[in-house]
Amino acid sequence: MIETQFYSVKPTDLNALETIYGGKIVDLIDSLAAIIARRHSGKTCVTASMDSIDFVRPAKSGDLLVLKTAINKVWDTSCEIGVKIFVENQETKARKHLASAYLTFVALDENGRPTPMPKIILKTKEEKRRFREAEDRRKIRLARKTKIRE
Amino acid sequence: MIETQFYSVKPTDLNALETIYGGKIVDLIDSLAAIIARRHSGKTCVTASMDSIDFVRPAKSGDLLVLKTAINKVWDTSCEIGVKIFVENQETKARKHLASAYLTFVALDENGRPTPMPKIILKTKEEKRRFREAEDRRKIRLARKTKIRE
Amino acid sequence: MIETQFYSVKPTDLNALETIYGGKIVDLIDSLAAIIARRHSGKTCVTASMDSIDFVRPAKSGDLLVLKTAINKVWDTSCEIGVKIFVENQETKARKHLASAYLTFVALDENGRPTPMPKIILKTKEEKRRFREAEDRRKIRLARKTKIRE
Amino acid sequence: MIETQFYSVKPTDLNALETIYGGKIVDLIDSLAAIIARRHSGKTCVTASMDSIDFVRPAKSGDLLVLKTAINKVWDTSCEIGVKIFVENQETKARKHLASAYLTFVALDENGRPTPMPKIILKTKEEKRRFREAEDRRKIRLARKTKIRE
Amino acid sequence: MIETQFYSVKPTDLNALETIYGGKIVDLIDSLAAIIARRHSGKTCVTASMDSIDFVRPAKSGDLLVLKTAINKVWDTSCEIGVKIFVENQETKARKHLASAYLTFVALDENGRPTPMPKIILKTKEEKRRFREAEDRRKIRLARKTKIRE
Amino acid sequence: MIETQFYSVKPTDLNALETIYGGKIVDLIDSLAAIIARRHSGKTCVTASMDSIDFVRPAKSGDLLVLKTAINKVWDTSCEIGVKIFVENQETKARKHLASAYLTFVALDENGRPTPMPKIILKTKEEKRRFREAEDRRKIRLARKTKIRE
């Protein structure tokens, strides 16, 4: 299931070039993804990682951002969430891609220890594709972690 | 040259688990890296991308964060900046790794168009290693972009 | 059409009793309703009035708020938007009513003058009921304004 | 007794039209009224309701807002507070009406239960008029609540 | 004339010791004094200096701060404003001294150049004493500036 | 040892004249000095006083502030920290003096009582000069406090 949320860019979100700064975009992504992870699991969830993110185009004050988010795959105590941000044209409603990110979250119990998360049920072709690709990205993440430890 | 900056975690930076949330950490990283890119280039710089980031351990209110940052490589109009965050123990001054990130910034002229950035001069072995690794990461980024376009 | 948005209560939203303060709730309502008015009209919209609001129950840090919103009726250059806020139980997903509000927005052109807004198309029984009730509330608002002027 | 407080509109209070947004005005009203209720009762107070509010005119960055507030009537464990906001002209000191609101607050003891509030002593004609009108507004509020429950 | 303003300490104003931090207190003082200077002069005013400040006692979340402020003396294009902050006991209304500060403000015209400010009229003994003492403090300030230049 | 920190002026830091307001500058100074005091002592530190401060020149949005800070002298349970702020020109890197301040901090133990702080070791001529001057300023501070008490 895809959740859609809106955000109107505020004067306080801008850098010296009068465009929204990267850190604010990531903040929006992380906050929303944390809500989605928590609603799915019924547990408090913390961000474990965020995959690389490209900032495709800028957004300015008053721009309407549309954030689309989905849970791609659930492992034992963690899940991958994908977030895609668009800028929506006020008059035509046309949406242009701003940035995308994949985050992993871990569900925690009352003692702050990882705890199981319910699986997701795949229905559409699209959901199955996202499920498969999440596993691919996971392998890259694990390889990355192994490399850091070495 | 490595710049070291400090940040004391505030009550407003915490999630429901009373630890600093991922979006805030990325915000700190992005703000600092933007300053470093701008000081080096003498131009306004915008974030073009951020590589994957793992949140290794949590930090709580009052914790002192130490952010170490360096320009790894400069290409024509862009550069890679690495940021490493540690939590510093108040009494022993021992530092534990919290998260690391690599960001690319593009320098812009008055019309918002990419403009050349001065090269960096490599002195130490360490700087030369970071320079080489930055090129490797760039190849992965370009491959990623090509894949997204296809 | 009903839009659903989420908000996770932050430590910075709390009063001395550790519950979310009334002003923050109204701020959330107003921000979201402004986005809905603007998306419907394709114009910048400003709040003209907010009907009375009762704060039925408190919410605390980490609580998940669910905001449901709908455009009830469109007049020439203004519309009424209804917002209902619930607290969602993390485990059972049961929702309890926190507060409700009706706001009117005016669409403005580039010179800041009221400008026409497209009408809404009523489909369901529920939408037709909200449409009728909006007109009743409008009469009360106009009577109120007349009284203030006298 | 009427308390007068000042507020200078900041760049962070503005919407895309560069005027102060409705949610911020209500936030200012609620914060101030909560202080007044608390100073009168010597107890922590929470907002129970806010009557309808009309935003009569806009205010822009740097505008000086004057908030005038008074306790109109005290019932057993609650009271009604009226807040009137004006924009003050910097040179002439002429004040123009921006918005008005009536809020009810409930005093709470250490266990968060409603607790008695001291009565107010009426001296002026003006105070007696506000006292009578507060009772009229209360009847409307109670009727509203009864209707919501049905 | 003495203006009295209130401020309720928020969770976001606290340092790691759960008391309001010095920078926030100075921020409150400066914001209020700027409003007073501007209302008196009818011009935009900027802070030129702030005399030494001692933080006599701490304040915690939910504490009610009372800020009393007065214009002590007006010179050609500048004035001295005194601000005294107290913590008010919720039940007894007893006020304890938190900090005091003297600030100087310069009035600016549309081009950002110093512009004359209207004089104040002294009525009470207290006002005359503050007027004399302001002149003494000014001499110290000028001596300080001369020393810095040398 | 002198620590250097950077800060990029944000739109939210500006007053109506579009320059950074005095309260924000003091906030930056106090936050940074608190970190330095705490890193030196290994204890939580609170601001005890701040000497007079002159705001020499304004700074606008996007300006890069450079904050240089040093511990000048340590007494039993307190220390003096000096902070100097400059605006750095983006292209030439030339630095202009914005403001300077001397603050005293007290180290506190777990019960909030003053606790000893380690001494500093003086190496350079510059450090010895700052050490002597700190003692002079301390005498003025103590005389000021005695006068307030009388």
Residue spans of the domains in chain A: they are 2-149
Mutate to test the interface with D, among C12, C36, C38, C46 (most CBs of D within 10 A): C46
Q: Do A44 and B103 touch (CB under 8 A)?
A: no
Partner-chain contact D62 F16, CB within 8 Å: yes
Q: Is D98 left (phi over 0), alpha (psi -120 to 50) or beta?
A: alpha
Cα separation, C61 vs C83, in Å, equals 21
User: Is B10 within 8 Å of E12 when comparing Cβ atoms?
Assistant: yes
Confidence at C100, pLDDT banded by 50, 70, 90: very high
pLDDT at F140: 87
Q: Is the dihedral of CA A133, A135, A140, A141 positive or negative?
A: positive
Q: Tell me the residues of D at the F interface, defined by beta carbons under 8 Å apart.
A: 8, 10-12, 61-62
Q: Residue C149: what pLDDT? A: 59
pLDDT given for residue C137 in this prediction? 92
Rounded-to-integer distance, Cα E140 and Cα E138, Å:
5
Does residue E7 have a pLDDT over 90? yes
Contact check, Cβ <8 Å, A64/C31: no
Q: Would you state the pLDDT for residue F12?
A: 82
Residues of D in contact with A61 (CB under 8 A): 16
Q: How far apart are CA E96 and CA E86, in angstroms?
A: 5
Tell me the count of B-F CB pairs closer than 8 A.
43
Question: What's the rounded mean pLDDT across residues C63-68?
Answer: 96
The confidence score (pLDDT) of residue F33 equals 96
List residues of chain B with CB under 8 Å from any CB of chain E. Answer: 8, 10-12, 61-62
DSSP C11: G
pLDDT attached to residue E144: 76
Identify the pLDDT of residue D147: 66
With CB atoms and an 8 Å threshold, state whether E17 touches F44. yes
> Which of E6, E7, E12 is best to mutate for the C interface (most C CBs within 10 A)?
E12
Mind listing the pLDDT tens digit for each residue in D48-87? 999 999 899 999 988 999 999 999 999 999 999 999 999 9
CA-based nearest distance B12→chain E, Å: 6
* Mean pLDDT computed over B96-117: 94
- Mean pLDDT along residues A21-46: 94
CA distance B104 to B33: 9
Give me the count of residues in chain A.
150
Residue D141 is inside which H or E element, if any? helix D125-149
pLDDT digits (tens, 9 = 90+) for D8-55: 998 888 877 788 989 999 999 999 999 999 999 999 999 999 999 989
Q: Is B17 helix (H, G, I), strand (E, B) or coil?
A: coil
Identify the band that residue C150 occupies on the pLDDT scale cut at 50, 70 and 90: low
Give chain E's contact residues with C (Cβ, < 8 Å): 8, 10-12, 61-62
Q: Among A21, A22, A145, whose Cβ lies nearest the Cβ of B54?
A: A145
Strands across the sheet with E44-50, in order? E3-8, E64-74, E78-88, E95-108, E44-50, F53-54
Q: Indicate the pLDDT class of residue F147, thresholds 50, 70 and 90.
A: low
For residues C108-129, give the mean pLDDT. Answer: 94
Query: What whole-number distance in Å separates Cα of residue B90 and Cα of residue F44?
Result: 9
Contact indicator for A46, B58 with CB cutoff of 8 Å = yes
Which tokens is E145 given? 């500036």
Q: How far apart are CA D37 and CA D41, in angstroms?
A: 6
For residue C146, count other CB atoms closer than 10 A to its CB: 9
- Exposure string over E60-80, b if 16+ CB within 10 A, otherwise e: ebbbbbbbbbbbbbbeebbbb
Nearest to C35 among A6, A32, A43 (CB): A6
> H or E stretch including E87?
strand E78-88
Whether the per-residue pLDDT at B150 is higher than 80: the answer is: no
pLDDT tens for E29-68 read 999 999 999 999 999 999 999 999 989 999 998 899 999 9
- E78 pLDDT above the threshold of 80: yes
**What confidence category does residue D150 fall into, taking pLDDT thresholds of 50, 70 and 90?**
low
**Which pairing describes strands E44-50 and E78-88: parallel, antiparallel, or unpaired?**
unpaired
In Å, how far is B121's CA from the nearest CA of chain A? 27
pLDDT at F150 over 80: no
Dist CA F76 CA C52 (whole Å) = 59
Residues of B in contact with F44 (CB under 8 A): 62, 90
pLDDT digits (tens, 9 = 90+) for A88-133: 999 899 999 999 999 999 999 988 899 999 999 999 999 999 999 9
Contact C35 A62 (CB under 8 A): no
F52-67 exposure pattern, b = at least 16 Cβ within 10 A, e = fewer: bbbbbebbebbbbbbb
To the nearest whole angstrom, how far is the Cα of F103 from the nearest Cα of chain D?
29
Give tens-digit pLDDT for F73-122: 999 999 999 999 999 999 899 999 999 999 999 999 988 899 999 999 99
Task: Work out the percent of chain C whose per-residue pLDDT is above 90.
Answer: 75
D16 → chain A, closest CA residue: A62
Q: How far is CA A31 from CA A44, B23, C85, E134, in A?
A: 13, 7, 19, 51
Q: What is the CATH number of domain B2-149?
A: 3.10.129.10
Query: What does the pLDDT look like over B7-49, one tens digit per residue?
Result: 999 888 887 778 898 999 999 999 999 999 999 999 999 999 9
Confidence of residue E11 (pLDDT cuts 50, 70, 90): confident
In B1-150, the DSSP E strands lie at 3-8, 44-50, 53-54, 64-74, 78-88, 95-108
The average confidence (pLDDT) of chain F is 92
Give the contacts of C83 (CB within 8 A, at least 6 positions apart): C29, C32, C33, C67, C68, C69, C100, C101, C102, C103
Percent of chain A surpassing pLDDT 70: 97
Chain D residues in contact with F14 by the CB 8 A cut-off are: 11
* pLDDT interval class at C146 (50, 70, 90): confident
Distance between first and last Cα of chain A: 38
Evaluate the CA torsion angle A8, A11, A16, A21 in order and state its sign. Answer: negative
Strands C44-50 and C95-108, by their bridges, are: antiparallel
DSSP string, E39-53: HHHSSEEEEEEE--E
Do the Cβ atoms of F90 and B42 come within 8 Å?
yes
pLDDT, position E148 = 59
How far, in Å, CA of F142 to CA of F135, rounded?
A: 11
Per residue in F92-104, pLDDT (tens digit) is: 999 999 999 999 9
Nearest CA in chain C to D57: C48
Residue with tokens 């941000």: A85
Distance from CA of C14 to the nearest CA of B (A): 11
In the structure encoding, which two tokens stand for residue C137, read together? 């509330």
- What pLDDT, on the 0 to 100 scale, is given for residue B18? 84
